[in-house]
Homo-oligomer: A and B are copies of this chain.
Amino acid sequence: MTVIFSKKCEYGMQAVLYLAAHKDKGVIRVDDIAETLKVPKEFVSKILQSLTTSGIVSSKKGKFGGFALAKDPKRIRLIDIVAAIDGLEMFNSCVLGFPNCTPDTPCPVHHTWGELRTLAYNMLTEETLDEFKQKTINKIKTI
C-alpha cells in the first residue's frame, strides 16, 4: 500500500521537486532523476511525459535533451501534480469507503476526516515548489 497517493503520483511529485531544485541547470536527463531518486527510469519517464501534456513540465528531445519545468516554480504547487495524476477525488471521498458520504448522510468519522482532508489539501497548496527548493535539496542528498 502506498500512503495516500499512487506510486505514479509519488514519483511524479519527487521528480517535479527535483526539477525545481535543479532549475538553474537547464534540462535534466531522466537518467539523472531516476538514479538520484532511485526510482525506475522508464516509469518516471512516462510520468514526466504525462506531466508534459498537463503543461507542468516541458521536454526537449535529442542529444542534450531532457525535462524541465514548464513554468516558474513559484507558480507550481504539489496539488497541481496530484490533480494531474491521481485527481482530486480523494478530497471528496469517504475514508471508510461508504458511498454518498455527505454532511446529511455522514459516516461515523465524517467530520474528523473532513478536517483532516482540508489540512492535507492545505499542505499541498500553501507552498510552491520554489519554497520547497532548499528542503528538497537537503532531502535529495540523503537518499
Judge if A132 is at the interface, Cβ distance under 8 Å.
yes
Q: Which of A26-34, A49-57, A64-72, A96-104 contacts B (4 or more CB under 8 A)?
A: A96-104
The answer to the question of A40 belonging to the interface, with a C-beta cut-off of 8 Å to chain B, is no
Whole-angstrom distance between the alpha carbons of A81 and B106 in the complex?
Answer: 20
Please tell me if A119 contacts chain B, counting CB pairs below 8 Å: yes
* Secondary structure dominating the interface of A: loop
Select one of B13, B86, B124 contacting A1, CB under 8 A: B86
Query: Which residues of chain B have C-beta atoms less than 8 A from A94's C-beta?
Result: 3
- CB-based contact B98/A11 at 8 Å: no
Nearest chain B CB to A76's CB is how many angstroms away?
Answer: 13
Knowing A90-B1, A116-B123, A119-B116, the reply to whether A139 touches B97 (Cβ < 8 A) is: no
**Quick one: given A108-B17, A123-B112, A123-B116, are A99 and B1 in contact (CB under 8 Å)?**
no
